[in-house]
Homo-oligomer: A and B are copies of this chain.
């Protein structure tokens, strides 16, 4: 069963895209759906390997780059570099929930893991400084990469 309309909590990706003022294409809908369903930021390579939706042809490599850039340009996705130097993308709305916990960034595979711990309270800032974001990142090797390296 395919949902045909929006709910307050989960507007359809196609509606978000239309509201952003760009054309609604199959590629953009599929990519934004994937970003919104993902639990971690996804790299281009990971998204290229996504199972092609029923009957849909795989998205062209270059088109995927351009779809991702367009989603970033219209504010629906965020782009950040991982520890290996590869860009990772996330749905813009997903950022809020990740502000509440700490992340582990694997220097081996670039993966981002959400930890249960919440970030510690920020220290006092010098006069006039305005805090916008607290980033408490742990870096190292995840279980998979650590096993390979040992």
A residues contacting B by CB (< 8 A) are 81-87, 102, 104, 107, 113, 115-117, 120, 122-144, 146-147
Contact = CB atoms under 8 A, between A and B. Distances in A.
A68 to B, nearest CB: 14
B140 A126 contact: no
Contacts of A124: 117
A138 B138 contact: no
A133 B137 CA distance: 8
A106 B45 CA distance: 25
Contact of A85 (B85, B115, B123, B135): B85
Contact of A140 (B117, B133, B140): B133
A140 B130 contact: yes
